[in-house]
Amino acid sequence: MNRTIIKFICLLLALSITASLTGCSFPFGKKPVVSELAGGGTSDGETAPENEEAPEDDEEADGEEAASEDGEKTDEEEAASEDGEKTDEEGTASEDGEETDEDEAAPEDEKAAEDGEEADGEGTIQNGIGRELQATYQADHIFSINTMAGESFNPYSTNSAWNRVASMLVYETLVASDGNFEAQPNLVTRWESEDGILWTFYVDTSRAFHDGGVMTAADAVYSFDAARNGTALYARRFSHVKTDYATGTDVFIVELDEPNWRFYELMNIPCIESGTMGSDRPPGTGPYMFNARGTSLVRFEDHPNAKKLALKTIHLKRYTDSEDILQAFEDSLLDLVTNNPADMSSLGYSSANLIKYVDTTNLHFLGYNFDSPLFSQPLYRSLVTYAIDRETIISTSYQGSAVSATLPIHPNSALYPKSIARTLAYSPDDLKIAMENTGVRDVDGDGVLDFGSVRGSVVLLVCSDSAAKVAAARQIATQLRNAGFEVTMSELEYEEYILALSKGEYDIYYGEVKICNDWDISELVAADGALNYGGVHDPNLEGYIQAFIGSGEDTIQTNTEALYNYLAQSAPITAICFERQQVLYHRGVLTTISPTQDNIFNEIENWTIDLGSDEKK
């Protein structure tokens, strides 16, 4: 696909879905421009509109790093060749893509990647067009990912989604989170608590930082404080922390102000070396480290998995414009990219690429105005769930990149109450029965339901900056009309959308929120919750949530069922789906990848990589 075709596609996208690369289904505060696969997308527990311009699309390189026409960095130290390969005093790329460098090496030769595709359903890989693709994509025989010139790589301060993705190779989390959002030992090897308030964490002091420093509990505490106090990305999850401190080289303590028996699930935060918060590239412990000038990532030989890593070098390209990113990926000058069809930064990658879907905790939902004459009543709010055909919305508005959910907990979670969830699924028959039982009918024969003395006329609010979410909201409006509601759409740009929320100029709003891995939704529905725009005030609900969060092994099952039964009855929100994000890569280059929400490069030591060269890199 040549540049002219790409330009034409981008022009069509711009004309047909004016704001498809932005979006703001998140109603509260601006969404940080970060990868939603990077430990959080939005701030924890924070709904934020997706309407900020992605820095990938419009950010200019700084005075030392100017973007060339193909997006590569050009300066007196480094010049990019036409095919995107790097030539400089540290490494010179040859015509066949080889590189000679004292401290950088190109990827190690690996056996050819398997040609088959994984079955659909478990983070599926598919070619998108249902046909066999014979060509592989090994254009330059090096492995490259995109980054943003002039932006930090510090996981606690960067504003670049691309840099945050790259940083996953450099900074490991204290506790890992698997595809089911369950905590796994990592830099912290184990944890314990006797009361859910005082938590003890044990650090793996055999691990080293890239500058040679030894990992200790002091580094863990420093990183914890950076997450707790230094960035909106993680701060909300730690709102109940009273204090934290190291008690030795390998142990640190965190004290909460109330019990949370799942607090360890929140410790999936990046670790940086103590005292380095001010650095744009602080030392990490990950399998790769920055070269001296930050132009590539090189294998960290002291990492436990170093000998298993197929790639010695991962090249950091610098494409700025959306068109250049698309073109570079189609030309195989970029080997792996991420995409979210529901997000403001969604790009129209070719359907000929392989896709791995990654489950996330980003919940799409309907929120209600509790001052609305209609939806102030839980009996009427609870009817809406039966009218929503979630699978149709997912397949048409989100291209299959979501998982249907009727409760604000991911179906992958071991705590997901399947039996309760099934009772809330789309069902015209159940809706009819529920309406008959509550006396809801069209009294005056005008085609609109009457809820007692209240006419079933509602305003559905959505932020117009996300074309995908507008499409989803319109589908919901149609489904509600089919059920007998009269629906008026209110599609507003971000600032107006926020104003309408704050003034209560809606009956239902379409929103999105990233839920933390302990599944606490207090910020969204508690009376004092920062994200409670609907005006939910239900002490009973807050009591159920607190009992759920404070449950030990002996009570978790009982309290989980009690909470979600109450949510089903009171319906403060109506869950729609959880996002599935995309990792795209080229056929014949990569196989056996297993990305997670927190780490796209999860288990990179097990990747099978074929860069199309017989030379050792």
Q: Secondary structure of 544-571 in the HEC alphabet? A: HHHHHHCCCCCCHHHHHHHHHHHHHHHC
Tokens of 408: 């604000």
| β-strand pairing of 590-591 with 608-609 | antiparallel
379 lies in some domain: yes
Question: What's the DSSP call for residue 384?
Answer: G
Whose tokens are 């914890």? That residue is 224
CA 439 to chain CA centroid, Å, is 42
Helix, strand, coil fractions of the chain, as percent rounded to 5: 25, 20, 55
Please state whether 71 falls in left (phi above 0), alpha (psi between -120 and 50) or beta: left
422 lies in some domain: yes
Q: What is the pLDDT of residue 109?
A: 36
Cα 401 to Cα 233: distance, rounded to the nearest angstrom: 23
CB 360 within 8 Å of CB 583: no
136 & 260 share domain: no
562 lies in some domain: yes
13 lies in some domain: yes
Which sign, positive or negative, has the C-alpha torsion 339, 233, 20, 469? positive
162 lies in some domain: no
- Nearest Cα neighbor of 127 from 297, 344, 349, 314 is 349
Cα 426 to Cα 386: distance, rounded to the nearest angstrom: 4
Domain that holds residue 512: 359-580
- Nearest Cα neighbor of 221 from 244, 203, 250, 255 is 244
Q: Cα dist. 166→16, 84, 232, 507 in Å? A: 32, 18, 20, 41
Q: What is the pLDDT of residue 198?
A: 98
450 & 547 share domain: yes
Cα 499 to Cα 609: distance, rounded to the nearest angstrom: 50
The residues, ordered by sequence, that sit 6+ positions from 525 with a Cβ below 8 Å of its Cβ are 532, 536, 538, 541, 542, 545, 572, 573
CB 543 within 8 Å of CB 559: no
Cα 66 to Cα 323: distance, rounded to the nearest angstrom: 17
444 & 551 share domain: yes
550 lies in some domain: yes
144 lies in some domain: yes
Q: What is the pLDDT of residue 235?
A: 81
Q: How far apart are the first and last CA of the chain?
A: 29
170 lies in some domain: no
487 & 567 share domain: yes
CATH number for the domain harbouring residue 540: 3.10.105.10
572 & 616 share domain: no
57 & 140 share domain: yes
508 & 609 share domain: no
As to burial, measured by CB atoms within 10 angstroms (0-12 exposed, 13-18 middle, 19+ buried), residue 496 is middle
347 & 365 share domain: no
521 & 463 share domain: yes
* DSSP H or E segment with residue 498: helix 494-503
421 & 467 share domain: yes
* DSSP H or E segment with residue 575: strand 573-585
- Nearest Cα neighbor of 272 from 248, 290, 299 is 290
Number of domains into which the chain is organized: 3
Q: Which of 234, 266, 298 is the last residue of a domain?
A: 266
Q: What is the pTM of this model?
A: 0.79
454 & 535 share domain: yes
Cα 137 to Cα 586: distance, rounded to the nearest angstrom: 6
Q: What is the pLDDT of residue 345?
A: 57
434 & 465 share domain: yes
CB atoms within 10 A of CB 461: 25
Question: What's the DSSP call for residue 208?
Answer: B
Q: Across the 617 residues of the chain, what is the mean pLDDT of every consecutive 10-residue run? A: 45 36 36 33 44 36 36 39 38 35 37 35 36 50 94 94 96 96 97 97 98 98 92 85 97 97 97 97 98 96 96 96 90 91 64 86 97 93 97 94 97 97 96 92 90 92 92 97 96 94 96 95 94 95 97 95 98 97 90 93 94 56
Q: Which of 207, 231, 266 is the last residue of a domain?
A: 266
Backbone angles phi, psi at 491, to 5 degrees: -105, 105
Cα 162 to Cα 119: distance, rounded to the nearest angstrom: 28
